């Protein structure tokens, strides 16, 4: 059971890192911690936005789909943060 929790945490961190990195390519920013935090929060934002808009990504690989969804959310998050500040 503990192995599954560790795997889920590592997977979430990898998704967050990849999504944050992709978002940084689009809107700028940097740093490993920044990538992970923005990517992890972005995964929630992206899931909410795509769900609210009724959008389903036509990507067969679930991991890639999660990374793209999180990257969309991370981009939105960074752009909103820049608007507010």
pLDDT at residue 32, rounded to an integer: 82
Q: What is the pLDDT of residue 2?
A: 58
**Which spans in 1-85 are helix H?**
2-27, 32-53, 62-84
Tokens of 25: 């390519």
Q: Is the pLDDT of residue 57 over 80?
A: yes
What is the Cα–Cα distance from 29 to 19, expressed in whole angstroms?
12
Record the pTM.
0.87
Each residue's pLDDT tens digit, 12-28: 889 989 999 999 889 98
Mean pLDDT of the chain: 89
Query: 31: which residues sit within 8 A by CB, 6+ positions away?
Result: none
């Amino acid at each position: 059971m503990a192995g599954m929790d560790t795997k889920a945490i590592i997977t979430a961190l990898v998704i967050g890192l990849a999504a944050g990195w992709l978002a940084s390519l689009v809107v700028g920013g940097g740093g490993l911690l920044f990538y992970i935090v923005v990517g992890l929060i972005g995964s929630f934002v992206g899931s909410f936005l795509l769900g609210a808009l009724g959008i389903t990504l036509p990507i067969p690989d679930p991991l890639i789909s999660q990374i793209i969804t999180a990257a969309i959310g991370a981009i939105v998050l960074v752009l909103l943060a820049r608007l507010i500040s």
